[in-house]
Amino acid sequence: MAISLQPIHETSIPRDTDAMPRPSASPMSPTDQRYRECLDNARRVCAAGTVPTMLVIGGPEMAAVRCNEPLAALLNRPCAATRDESGPSLLPGGWAAVAEALRPLFVDETDAAAAERPDSLLLSLPTDPPLTLRAAPLLVDGQVVGVLASATLEGAIAQMAETMRAEVARTTAARSRFLASASHDLRQPFQAMRLFLDALTSQVDGNARAARTAGMLANAMTAGEQLLNALLDISTLDAGTVEPDLQPVSVDALLQSLAEEFRPQAEEKGLRLRVHVPDAASGAVTRSDPILLGRIVRNLLANAIRYTQRGGILLGLRKRDGQWRIEVWDTGFGIPQDKLDVIFDEFHQLTNPSRDPTRGLGLGLAIVRRLSVLLQAPIEVQSRSGRGSVFAVTVNRLEGEAPADTPLVGHHPDGGPSGVPLDGMRILVVDDDSMVLTGLLLTLESWGCAFVSASNMREVFAAVDGLEGPPDAILTDLRLPGKVSGFDVIDRVRKLFKADIPAVVLTGETAPESLLEGQRRGCAFLHKPLHPGELRRVLEEVRRYGKTVC
């Protein structure tokens, strides 16, 4: 539809008939006046548009173009909203196609082809993604003086969706960078406190009052560590930085392993924990991430034990509709029907209004929900108040593929840690955080280890220079000053001594790239804040087998 923007007629203002006209004043023809007023009105319409809008003045080859702010921002040409631009400068390399698409509109009514001129046409701008505008000619006395083009509803929605996707991607990337930094920096002081506490506990041995105080401090620290880890886990899952390692998993072996892990906790509360795998489900295999799937079931078992005061827990497996259904039954408090959805919200606990941290944090099921989405393993819950609940995880059934060895919780070669003495074990310790480094050295000293320490690569070379042979193990933080990483330390020291020295990497990060890089080097990973017992277990493996086993 052609647009004719008519001038606004105003009452003329009386003029002094005796006034002498200025010699420079030249009368404007009525056509020129209407032409200027038409374009002025078009500029106002363009500027007021809430969707991307463009005003093309003159013929397509020599056009001047004015954009409104939404379109100028989209084209990354903010000046185009305040002044006219030439077509080629506004769309370098793309204006020729736009001009050719506009050509059918530039037919005057006096032309024989005017009857074939379209009222409007769709115009595609070479943006990413392409933006569709509907263009209509501007007429003054039957003559085309320009074109006004505004984004169609579909085009505006598509562009808005793309802008939102780009913003989400940018925000996610920024959030991932923040999490990588925060995960490391927030865990550092907890790690130092845990190491100092372990050293302090060994020093107050025999003093009952001091030992009791140290025990209460340990409980408080454990609560803080659990909260920090849960919050960082949720943030990491929300950021989409966790990539599942999908592989064949023996479901019944996984359940038996988890039952062995949780049975002592259940028995401590006087509860019976049973596993029921019928013959039809024996040898059940699925394709999933064994660590993440195990974590889902682990959180469900922990919740069942926490909220069950008497009776028992049943961990079951059954086949349903060609899939495997993992079920956790309890005889606990039960959940009201109107609360079955909100229990998966963060910090939502039905039976802990006082927020007692010893009764959980209210984050376990929030993590379960995120992991279930990540693994495409739906979670269902059924419950009756006062009778108990059943949580079920459904996973796909896999046939004809042998599962990888399912890692057994608490498994250790030859039956487990046997208290291997660490006296005289030579360890290179590298960490740029002075508090963490001091805590590590105090802990290693209490175990009888011999050590040299460093906080950067220069100090590493100075520390190992006095050694007669390679250290028995390298214990290093992953993130070090500058562009140096713990992997660089491991590579340089191994190359220096021409030996495949066992290495343990301490980190507060969970990026899969780092884990894969460490695995290629045969490194063990310990995530901060670690308990000294975890470190001792790994060092005992090195002392016993000459390499890291985990």
Q: What is the pLDDT of residue 107?
A: 78
Q: Is residue 171 part of a domain?
A: no
Q: Are residues 194 and 125 in the same domain?
A: no
CB 502 within 8 A of CB 548: yes
Q: Are residues 223 and 344 in the same domain?
A: no
Q: Is residue 470 part of a domain?
A: yes
Q: What is the pLDDT of residue 161?
A: 66
* Cα Rg, the chain, nearest whole Å: 36
DSSP state of 12: P
Q: What is the pLDDT of residue 227?
A: 66
Residue 244, preceding peptide bond in cis (omega within 30° of 0): no
In this structure, what CATH number is given to the domain that contains residue 67? 3.30.450.20
Query: What does the block give as tokens for 115?
Result: 């009857």
CB 519 within 8 A of CB 490: no
Highest mean pLDDT: which range of 138-142, 177-181, 526-530: 138-142
Q: Are residues 234 and 336 in the same domain?
A: no
Q: Is residue 24 part of a domain?
A: no
Q: What is the mean pLDDT of residues 284-297?
A: 87
Residue pLDDT, tens place only, 99-122: 888 888 887 766 666 667 788 888
Residue pLDDT, tens place only, 317-333: 988 888 899 999 988 87
Q: Are residues 188 and 253 in the same domain?
A: no
3-class secondary structure for 145-179? Answer: EEEEEEECHHHHHHHHHHHHHHHHHHHHHHHHHHH
Q: What is the mean pLDDT of residues 195-213?
A: 80
Q: Which of 92-96, 182-186, 496-500 has the lowest mean pLDDT?
A: 182-186
Q: Are residues 141 and 273 in the same domain?
A: no
DSSP state of 479: B
The amino acid that residue 242 corresponds to is: V
Q: Are residues 342 and 465 in the same domain?
A: no
Among residues of the chain, what percentage have pLDDT more than 70? 73
- Name the domain count of the chain: 4
Q: Are residues 191 and 293 in the same domain?
A: no
Query: What does the block give as tokens for 17?
Result: 């008939």
pTM (global) more than 0.75: no
Q: Are residues 188 and 68 in the same domain?
A: no
Q: Are residues 449 and 365 in the same domain?
A: no
Residues spanned by the domain of 309: 247-350+360-396
Q: Is residue 364 part of a domain?
A: yes
Return the number of other C-beta atoms located less than 10 Å from residue 489's C-beta: 23
Helix, strand and coil percent figures for the chain, each rounded to 5: 45, 20, 35
In this structure, what CATH number is given to the domain that contains residue 457? 3.40.50.2300
Residue pLDDT, tens place only, 416-434: 444 688 999 999 999 988 8
Q: Is residue 417 part of a domain?
A: no
**What's the start-to-end Cα distance of the chain, in Å?**
73
CB 74 within 8 A of CB 159: yes
Q: Are residues 252 and 387 in the same domain?
A: yes
> Nearest-5° angle of CA 217, CA 359, CA 374?
105
Q: Are residues 222 and 256 in the same domain?
A: no
Q: Are residues 198 and 96 in the same domain?
A: no
